[in-house]
């Protein structure tokens, strides 16, 4: 069945966050993404990719077969028996009907950023490239990276339509797919680059889910029931 859903949440950044533009600015070699007001933000596409990875890990942990999402040629595409992850996030030829909104800085922090100047809520760190072969700093490889400060809060949302198999016959809107998505959000612990240097640590809090316009309680503690998904999917097709 197809159900309209809306999920809102807050992203708490506990480590320096770098989601890069790929461009430099002045003496900054690696700059962070900024919105039209020059505030740092988390692009919805970055968030979607990280949550998808978390959902893949959860699905495999509970014995579900999923496609090779790192290689488009190995993804489910238009196959009628698409894996649960592609049913939530989409695949080539099968676009997702969920929209991942950019996560923007909390309103109180926006005001603080304005008070601090145009580039508030970010800081620059000078680093050196490490030679993996020798385990020491590489010569002539000094660079400066811009990062969002630890302690920031971003407000994000996912909304649209979600196809799914109901967990219970008395609450058709609560599906295996929705439970996996919410569990993946809760499992997210990192965003952006510099992960090997301890950057990007985060957690998602204050998750609220509305199904067909009504707030709903979805018990992600039932994630163990994903082991029953294949049988439920087969039963739903008969």
Q: pLDDT for 196-221, tens place per residue? A: 666 789 999 999 999 999 999 888 99
- How much is the pTM? 0.87
Residue 51 pLDDT > 90, yes or no? yes
Q: For 56-108, write each residue's pLDDT tens digit.
A: 999 999 999 998 777 778 888 877 788 999 999 998 888 899 999 999 998 88
What Rg do the C-alpha atoms of the chain give, in angstroms?
Answer: 20
For the chain, the structural domain boundaries read 2-236
Query: CA 63, CA 178: separation in Å to the nearest integer?
Result: 18
The yes-or-no verdict on residue 238 having pLDDT over 70 is no
Write a three-state SS string for the chain.
CEEEEEEEEEEEECCCECCECCCCECCECECECECCCCCEEECHHHHHHHHHHHHHHHHHHCCCCCCCCCCHHHCCCCCCCCCHHHHHHCECCECCCEEECCEEECHHHHHHHHHHCCCCCEEEEEEEEEECCCCEEEEEEEEEEEEECCCCEEEEEEEEEEECCEEECCEEEEEHHHHHHHHHHHHCCECCCCHHHCCCEEEEEEEEEEECCEEECCCHHHHHHHHHHHHHHHHHCC
């Amino acid at each position: 069945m197809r159900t309209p859903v809306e999920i809102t949440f807050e992203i708490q950044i506990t480590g320096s966050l770098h989601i890069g533009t790929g461009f430099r600015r002045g003496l900054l070699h690696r700059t962070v993404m900024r919105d039209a007001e020059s505030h740092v933000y988390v692009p919805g596409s970055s968030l979607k990719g990280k949550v998808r990875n978390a959902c893949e890990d959860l699905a495999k942990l509970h014995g579900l077969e999923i496609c090779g999402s790192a290689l488009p040629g190995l993804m489910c595409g238009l196959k009628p028996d698409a894996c649960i992850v592609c049913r939530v996030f989409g695949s080539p030829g099968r676009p997702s009907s969920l929209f991942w909104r950019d996560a923007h800085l909390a309103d109180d922090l926006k005001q603080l950023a304005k008070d601090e100047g145009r580039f508030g809520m970010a800081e620059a760190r000078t680093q050196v490239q490490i030679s993996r072969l020798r385990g020491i700093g590489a010569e002539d490889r000094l660079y400066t990276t811009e990062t969002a400060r630890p302690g920031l809060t971003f407000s994000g949302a996912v909304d649209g339509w979600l196809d799914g198999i109901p967990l219970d016959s008395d609450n058709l809107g609560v599906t295996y797919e929705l439970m996996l998505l919410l569990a993946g959000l809760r499992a997210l612990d990192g965003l952006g680059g510099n992960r090997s240097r301890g950057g990007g640590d985060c957690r998602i809090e204050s998750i609220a889910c509305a199904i067909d316009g009504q707030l709903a309680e979805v018990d992600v503690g039932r994630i163990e029931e994903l082991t029953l998904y294949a049988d439920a999917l087969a039963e739903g097709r008969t």
